[in-house]
Chains A and B, each alone.
Chain A
Amino acid sequence: DSGVTQTPKHLITATGQRVTLRCSPRSGDLSVYWYQQSLDQGLQFLIHYYNGEERAKGNILERFSAQQFPDLHSELNLSSLELGDSALYFCASSIRGGRYNEQFFGPGTRLTVL
């Protein structure tokens, strides 16, 4: 158990819908990262938040957005869903300034868009 929690574990929805994925980092970790793992794109970095502020963006679509709240949990919002958005979405957390840049991954949320 990495200490990072993600809800829900599974999500099935229809095209055009909007969903919210939730992540709670390890106690004390200020950084939250979101990654997408799909069959055709592999594991890709989406976005990084540190202590409530956005720090870096990767290959995140404009239909996707995220935020980190004062209690440090983070939410990833996916809207106008398309079939190609079906993937496993991971959240990872780390200590800012941690010497090894080690990230601890949650169990992931599997999103299926029908």
Chain B
Amino acid sequence: AQTVTQSQPEMSVQEAETVTLSCTYDTSESDYYLFWYKQPPSRQMILVIRQEAYKQQNATENRFSVNFQKAAKSFSLKISDSQLGDAAMYFCAYSNGQTGANNLFFGTGTRLTVIP
């Protein structure tokens, strides 16, 4: 079974600094997708960034980037130039690449606090 582990329940970062959130996963599949979702106090689930397992290049979306280490089954999220609006719960998620079997498996989340 696929499992996703986030070992940091809470993290904090100074405004404008950089922070890295960790995620590891376990799967026997070769085709899969990885995601980071943000959940602010409004509870809305917002997709931050995604990574296809077949791509070696790390995904980047503006201030957000990932470090995808396939062999180590590691998928960390780096937030640069942190802003107050980045404060939220962040969930790492895994999805099998096969169509029809692509429900998301979530980690337990990391609560990020941004200090002004």
Contacts and interface: CB of A to CB of B under 8 A. Distances in A.
Interface in B32-66: 33, 35, 37, 42-47, 50, 52
A13 to B, nearest CB: 19
A108 B33 contact: no
B91 A101 contact: no
A56 B43 contact: no
Interface string A1-34: 0100000000000000000000000000000010
A2 B46 CA distance: 8
Interface residues of A, number: 27
B104 A45 contact: yes
Given A43-B106, A100-B52, A107 B44 contact: yes
Contact of A48 (B91, B103, B106, B108): B103
Contact of A42 (B45, B101, B108): B108
Interface of B: 33, 35, 37, 42-47, 50, 52, 91, 95, 97, 99-109
Interface of A: 2, 33, 35, 42-45, 48, 50, 55-56, 58, 88, 90, 92, 94, 96-97, 100-105, 107-108, 110
